[in-house]
């Protein structure tokens, strides 16, 4: 158990809908990262927040957004969902902005029908 929690574990929805994925970092960690794992794209970095502020952006679609709240939990919002958004979404956390070790949550499996 990494100490990073993600909810829900599974999510099934329809095209065009909007969903919110939630992540709670390890106790004391200030940085949260979101990754997408899909069959065709592999594991890709989406976005990082540090202590409430966006720190780095990767291959994140404009339909996707994220935020980190004062209690340090983070939410990833996915809108206008398409079939291709079906994937496993991981959250990871680290102690500091530049900490080398990232600890991953169990993931949220999103299925878009």
Partner 1 sequence: GDSVTQMEGPVTLSEEAFLTINCTYTATGYPSLFWYVQYPGEGLQLLLKATKADDKGSNKGFEATYRKETTSFHLEKGSVQVSDSAVYFCALREAAGNKLTFGGGTRVLVKP
With CA atoms as reference, report the closest residue to 79 among 30, 15, 29, 22.
15
Binding status of residue 42 toward partner 1 by CB under 8 A? yes
Binding status of residue 10 toward partner 1 by CB under 8 A? no
Binding status of residue 40 toward partner 1 by CB under 8 A? no
* 3-class secondary structure, 83: helix
Closer to partner 1 at the Cβ: 35 or 64?
A: 35
Burial class (CB in 10 A: 0-12, 13-18, 19+), 50: buried
Say if residue 8 is preceded by a cis peptide, omega within 30 of 0. Answer: yes
The contact pattern for partner 1, residues 79-108, with x = CB under 8 A and - = no contact, is -----------x-x----xx-xxxxxxxx-
Residue 51 and residue 27: Cα distance in Å, rounded?
13
* 3-class secondary structure, 80: coil
Binding status of residue 56 toward partner 1 by CB under 8 A? yes
Binding status of residue 2 toward partner 1 by CB under 8 A? yes
Residues lying near partner 1 in the complex (CB under 8 A) = 2, 4, 31, 33, 35, 42-45, 48, 55-56, 58, 90, 92, 97-98, 100-107
């Amino acid at each position: 158990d990494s100490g990073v929690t993600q909810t829900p574990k599974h999510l099934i929805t329809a095209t065009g809908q909007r969903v919110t994925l939630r992540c709670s970092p390890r106790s004391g960690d200030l940085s949260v990262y979101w990754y997408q794992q899909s069959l065709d794209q592999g594991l890709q970095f989406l976005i990082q927040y540090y202590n409430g502020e966006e720190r780095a952006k990767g291959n994140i679609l404009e339909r996707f957004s994220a935020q980190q709240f004062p209690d340090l939990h983070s939410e990833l919002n996915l809108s206008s969902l398409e079939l291709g958004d079906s994937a496993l979404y991981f959250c990871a956390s680290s102690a500091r902005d530049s900490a080398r070790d990232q600890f991953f949550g169990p993931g949220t499996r999103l299925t878009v029908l």
